Amino acid sequence: MAAKVLTEGGLRVVMLEAGPLLDPAKHYTEHLWPYQLAHRGAGVGGTGVNAAGSYEMDVAHIAGSIAGEPYLNAPGSQFHWTRGRILGGRTNHWNCVALRFSEQDLQTRSLKGYGEDWPVRYEELAPYYDRVETLIGVHGTSEGLAGAPDGIFLPPPAPRCSDRLIQQGCASLRIPCIAGRAAVITQPYNGRPGCHYCAQCTQGCHTASRFSASQVLVPPALKTGRLTVVPNAMAREVLTDASGKATGVSYIDKDAGVERRMKARAVILGASACESARLLLNSQSRLFPNGLANESGYVGRCLMDTTAHMVAGDFPQLARIKPHNHDGTGSVYVYIPWWKYQRDNGFQGGYHVEVFGGPMMPKVGLFRREAQEAEGYGAALKSYCKERYGTSIQLHGRGEMIPNHESFCEIDPAGTVDRWGIPVLRFHMKWSANEVAMAKDMRTSLEEIVGAAGGTPLPFEPNAEYGYLNAGGVAHEVGTVRMGKDKRTSVLNGFCQAHTVKNLFVTDGGCFTTSPDKNPTLSILALSWRAADYLLEQARKGNV
Amino acid sequence: MQRRTVLQMLAVLPNAKAAELHRHEAPAETASPGPRYFSAREYRLLGALSELIVPGATEAGAPEFIDLLASENADYQRRLSGGMLWLDAACAAKFGPAFPDCSVEQQRAVLDLIAFRANGEKDASLVPGIQFFAFLRDLVLDGFFTSRAGIEYLEFRGNSPLKSFPGCPE
């Protein structure tokens, strides 16, 4: 985002990309049938991943494990870190849910007494949400809900049978269940063709009908003639001069296997929250012995992910609908914004619910539960699977995590380095009692919705963390280079600018002060645009 | 294929089956002379078991799929080869011959014992066979329902680009 705004504003930008340039024909797996793969999507030896460590039916170079680039977890921590090493990063793969943060999300300390206040108010961010939505295209409906601010929306797609059941169930409970808000264009928009409804946004989109940075932001930046993209460039550290200003970045040219330096008047990190924290922590110097811009000690701290708890329901009535193309967009059709404001829920913060389900493309593991239920073999087993196919609806609770001091990343104290010689991260991640209490509420409420919608919730056995996905599982990690009003407890100001290094910016999710239940990408884009506008202005004034 | 080419095709063609035009080519698999991991005897047994578990699974390529995964995973090798030998031993103890040489009725009699978890609660000696069979059953289901025949059997109608999305038909 920043590269587009800066180059269109007249500045020259060099983008260091740790992976290759995007080649959709090579890197995207959209429209692939499982039988076109020898492993059918099961991965090498049933591991789920191919020889390169990527999920077989997913975008290449986006993976939890990268050969030669480990990360570590401290004892008791199980953080899962999904990394993108390809131009556009994880926007090549994302689920496209695009929700605005509200004033209540941004000022939890002042308004509700927990978490932290952001140094940005909703009214300051709203114009940037407007601009981002206008640029990328987001579908949705205006509802006038205070906690879920409306945006500039394209028409949403018509709901599928499974979505309608959940909407009916919610209506009977008087719970809002509204059109999904997603960065999928449902009609031709800004030179991109409308969605072709294959439901495979996370496998890449050849037509760029769902937003990705690589297809929507990089091309116009290149068109200015002022953007240079350097692929396969793994950043090692941010360089500084004796006055404490950033002077550029040292990086490994992965193709040549040598170290190079790129000089710059200003440095913007958009490497993803934890990679940006890692870069700063690894940028040690006499002036910055604890890492660059880390006087507060908050680089790497306050690591948060979206909490995730899923309730699946059986809806045998779905099997009675004639076979039809249920795919649709790959994002949410309907969603339940947080609705329990103004009451005591026994925990702070809230969650929203994303609805998935129905007859999706068959894949490995689809009938594990049916095999357990029916057992046996032969024609009876086969027809049982067919009878049950597509009759599950999943309600995914997506909740706020409150920053806590036990969740952070640090440079591995044992000195582990990756294959590029760069010290690696070690994670410490812990849900607090608040998140566990929220998960219990998700369980109760979502089971109630399933029941009201005419389904039967599937049995559930809670674990110690009450069925939460491991932290990192939603890949919404944020907070590790946070912005704040107080220099003593934050790294950046409200323009993503380091408090102590005026020509250094961090515009990925690392800059988040808190982690509302809402998916982060839209806010990253808005904050990044705002930061780039600010940098342009500072550059014009000669301040950087 | 170039994105522009895809767009042109999507623009020109009626919406149905445009997916055919830009879906990936099937991997260039050289026809292998035989199984990668299993012995010829094991592979015949795998084919017979696959067909018993899901009629049509052998034709749909489930044995090739399972053989490929097993060739890359020592744990799969132990569980599958070990399970087949357990099956032979169980048949021999009960009827005399090994599993492939038993009559279909005898084969089914043994499978009926190991196809249900509850039987292991009554007779603990069946547990290894039950575990093997549950594992194999999952693999055969995966192999069948990710095949063209399996997907057609489910009457899946998607993975086919549409110009507009009609929503629920009812």
- Whether A79 is in a domain gets the answer yes
> A352, A277 in Cβ contact below 8 A?
no
**What is the pTM assigned to this prediction?**
0.93
- In the prediction, which pLDDT does B16 show? 34
- The B residues from 102 to 121 touching A (CB cutoff 8 Å) are 111, 115-117
The alpha-carbon gap from A355 to the nearest alpha carbon of chain B, in Å, equals: 15
CB contact under 8 A, A362 and B151: yes
> Is residue A379 within 8 angstroms of chain B, CB to CB?
yes
Which positions in chain B touch A39 (Cβ < 8 Å)?
65, 68-69
Total count of domains within chain A:
1
- The A residues from 175 to 204 touching B (CB cutoff 8 Å) are 193-200
- In the prediction, which pLDDT does B30 show? 47
The alpha-carbon gap from A276 to the nearest alpha carbon of chain B, in Å, equals: 32
Give the residue among A37, A328, A32, A7 at the shortest CA–CA distance from A162: A328
The alpha-carbon gap from A337 to the nearest alpha carbon of chain B, in Å, equals: 22
Neighbours of A457 (CB within 10 A): 17
- In the prediction, which pLDDT does A466 show? 72
Which positions in chain B touch A359 (Cβ < 8 Å)?
154, 156-158
Copy the structure tokens of residue A482. Answer: 């946070």
- Whether A74 is in a domain gets the answer yes
CB contact under 8 A, A364 and B142: yes
- In the prediction, which pLDDT does B152 show? 98
* Residues with Cβ within 8 Å of residue B6, at least 6 apart in sequence: A206, A207, B21, B22
DSSP A235-273: EEEEEE-TTS-EEEEEEEETTTTEEEEEE-SSEEE-S-H
Which of B142, B160, B167 lies closest to A40 in CB terms? B142
ipTM of the complex: 0.90
What CATH number is associated with residue A514?
3.50.50.60
A311: enclosing H helix or E strand: strand A307-314
- Whether A20 is in a domain gets the answer yes
The mean pLDDT values, 10 residues at a time, for chain A of 544 residues are: 98 98 95 95 92 86 91 94 96 97 97 96 98 98 97 97 98 98 97 96 96 98 98 98 97 97 98 98 97 98 94 95 95 97 94 96 96 97 97 96 96 98 97 92 96 94 71 92 98 98 98 98 98 97 91
Q: Is B30 helix (H, G, I), strand (E, B) or coil?
A: coil
Q: Return contacts of B147-150, CB within 8 angstroms, 24+ apart.
A: B147/A35, B147/A40, B147/B60, B147/B61, B147/B62, B148/A33, B148/A35, B148/B60, B149/B56, B149/B59, B149/B60, B150/A362, B150/B56, B150/B60
Q: Which positions of chain B have pLDDT values less than 50?
A: 1-30
- Whether A315 is in a domain gets the answer no
Residue of A nearest to B161 (CA): A196
- The A residues from 487 to 526 touching B (CB cutoff 8 Å) are none
- Whether A186 is in a domain gets the answer no
- In the prediction, which pLDDT does B10 show? 40
How many residue contacts between A and B have a Cβ separation below 8 Å?
Answer: 190
- Whether A332 is in a domain gets the answer no
Domain of residue A294: give its range.
Answer: 1-24+54-88+218-306+410-431+473-544
> Is residue B24 within 8 angstroms of chain A, CB to CB?
yes
- Whether A288 is in a domain gets the answer yes
- Whether A144 is in a domain gets the answer no
CB contact under 8 A, A197 and B153: no
Which positions in chain B touch A325 (Cβ < 8 Å)?
157-158, 160, 162
